[in-house]
Structure 1
Amino acid sequence: MTSTIEVAQTITTLPDHTQLPESDGTFVKNLQEHPQSILLTDSINPILQRRHPEGNYCIGQDSGIYWRLTDPPERGAEAPDWFYVPNVPPAIDGRMRRSYVLWQELISPLIVLEFVSGDGSEERDRTPLLRTIPEERKPGKFWIYENVIRPAFYGIYEVRLARIELYHLIEDRYQLVPANERGNYSIAPLEVELGIWQGRYQNVELPWLRWWDSQGNLLLTGAERAEQERQRAEQERQRAEQERQRAEQERQRAEQERQRAELAQSQLEQLRSQLRAAGIEPQV
């Protein structure tokens, strides 16, 4: 029987994020994937900052999650296009994480998202881990997420089809999350929804994967929030200018009324003078 001390010694000898490769040498297959990840991170950051005011959360973008020690090491890792882990710091000992090492943290991501470049079979592969030594086939991505990494939510975004499948881990099995009345998919722990937004981001018009709040309001990027504030400030400036113009018009009308009253009074005085000159005392 293995003692607790022996287990502890084994864990301490396992490599950490500084000792494991941060890349397997492959490259992103689709030019939309990188801005797509930035869009997701940028727009949800205010939500996560309110949820974690101390800053203890980690977001990975095409970064490795090590779930098993293998040779070579990168065979024991998955690199989701986007993932979020609550209650872990983004840096360790003053260094940004090179990867997320599951046996070091023991905290699963809340959300993992994969952007499909092919036909989606890789992201839906449920092939289990088959131990056939010396040759060992890597299990399917879906199986790894469902049985080992175990994020509460696993999303498959088919970029070409602008379609999402979102799975929720319930009783150790992934269940499809149905779309709500807005066509979005609810992620209740964060009080957000995931859906498709057709619009222009950076310099291209495409369907993009985006977040909404639970009331159906689109979560904006920093640039969108700044533009919204600029438009609001411009609207306030225009309203102030309209008020200034209305006040000026009122002032001009009042001045015209004053001048008309002065002219009428002057004409009346002239008439009185003419009547007196004719020996008639004016009655008014």
Structure 2
Amino acid sequence: MVNLTQRQKKLSLTPKREDLPTMYDLPSEEVGEPGLPDQYHPIQAQLLEQTFQPSTYPSDRVFSAMDLNIYYDAENTKRYKRPDWFGVVGVPRLYEERDLRMSYVVWQEEINPFIVVELLSPSTQREDLGQTRRDIDEPPTKWQVYEEFLQVPYYIIYERERDYFRAFHWEGSRYQELEIANNQLWLEELELGLRLWQGRHNRIERLWLRFYDAAGNLIPTEAEEAERERQEKERERQEKEYERQEKEQAQTALQELRDRLIAMGLDPDNLPSNN
């Protein structure tokens, strides 16, 4: 399994957990914040969420979410960022093994996200690409949070209008852009890959970003797995039906032969031997 302790920001001066607000208490950083800008964002993020299945971790120690607040600074508990999608390994799928999360609070979870994906849009492009800076008294940008506060190992940016994605890997203290070959990226630590796929998802045909396994096979969604099982059952049904029809045809042919022999005055059960 991946040892992420070297990539996590040290919070040695953080107050004790019981003294901090929980995910249920933390307020919003912005007032009147708009929701997702279009239909595409949640559908693409859902595909990432359903196919993020690292083989190096059991499924109950993998958490991913779309459009969920990440509270990243114990000294400024109102500050958060909301990635289009992010994945974490080594944490319970359920908060404290029992509840769905309403947000992700890093000083409580004690493990930072391993991968973040931002889906570019005109209103957020400059911030997502780290092309904007803010004053010291303002909340940092997403790029700053992912790179400086959370030190997320993999930061992915997908431009759906031009159908390409870029990948940045946290090395030392900064992001270094990775080379993307054949529109796919292999995450060795998780034995999981990320690539562009032309296909039909949620009844929409287009190019999608999704995960694949070490054999190059796409990780199926729940709907795809259900459809595969349906097709497998249908194939088995058809095979059994074909076998039944063949058996019936053989029995019919045998009966017709017996009837012809009887019509010829021969006993089908006692035919004369050639010897």
Query: TM-score category by the smaller chain?
Result: 0.7 to 0.9
Partner residue of 2:47?
39
The residue correspondences of 1:57-136 to structure 2 (distance < 5 A) are 57-69=62-74, 73-74=77-78, 76-89=79-92, 90-92=94-96, 94-118=98-122, 120-125=125-130, 131=136, 136=137
Per-residue displacement from partner, 1:231-267 (whole Å, max 9, x unpaired)?
Answer: 1111111111111111122112222222233333449
Aligned length in residues: 252
The residue correspondences of 1:109-258 to structure 2 (distance < 5 A) are 109-118=113-122, 120-125=125-130, 131=136, 136-181=137-182, 183-258=183-258
| Structure (1 or 2) with the greater helix fraction | 1
Letter in 2 for 1:234: E
Change (3 A) 1:169 1:156: same
SS at match of 2:126: coil
Instruction: Percent identity, please.
Output: 31
**Contact 2:41-2:84 at 8 Å conserved across structures:** yes
Partner residue of 2:21?
15
**Contact 1:30-1:117 at 8 Å conserved across structures:** no
Change (3 A) 1:126 1:10: farther
SS at match of 2:44: helix
SS at match of 1:190: coil
Change (3 A) 1:13 1:21: same
CA RMSD of aligned residues (A): 2.9
The whole-number CA distance in structure 2 between the counterparts of 1:237 and 1:23 is 57
Q: Offset of 1:12 from its aligned partner? A: 5.3
**Contact 2:74-2:107 at 8 Å conserved across structures:** no
**Contact 1:180-1:186 at 8 Å conserved across structures:** no
Per-residue displacement from partner, 1:150-197 (whole Å, max 9, x unpaired)?
Answer: 11111111122222112222333323333345x311122222211222
**Contact 2:128-2:157 at 8 Å conserved across structures:** yes
Task: Compute the TM-score of the two structures, normalised by the length of structure 2.
Answer: 0.79
**Contact 1:126-1:139 at 8 Å conserved across structures:** no
Comparing 227-236 with 103-112, which one deviates more in the overlay? Answer: 103-112
Change (3 A) 1:26 1:126: same
Comparing 224-233 with 20-29, which one deviates more in the overlay? Answer: 20-29
Task: Compute the TM-score of the two structures, normalised by the length of structure 1.
Answer: 0.77
Change (3 A) 1:207 1:9: closer
- Tell which has more relative contact order, 1 or 2 (C-alpha 8 A, sep 6+): 2
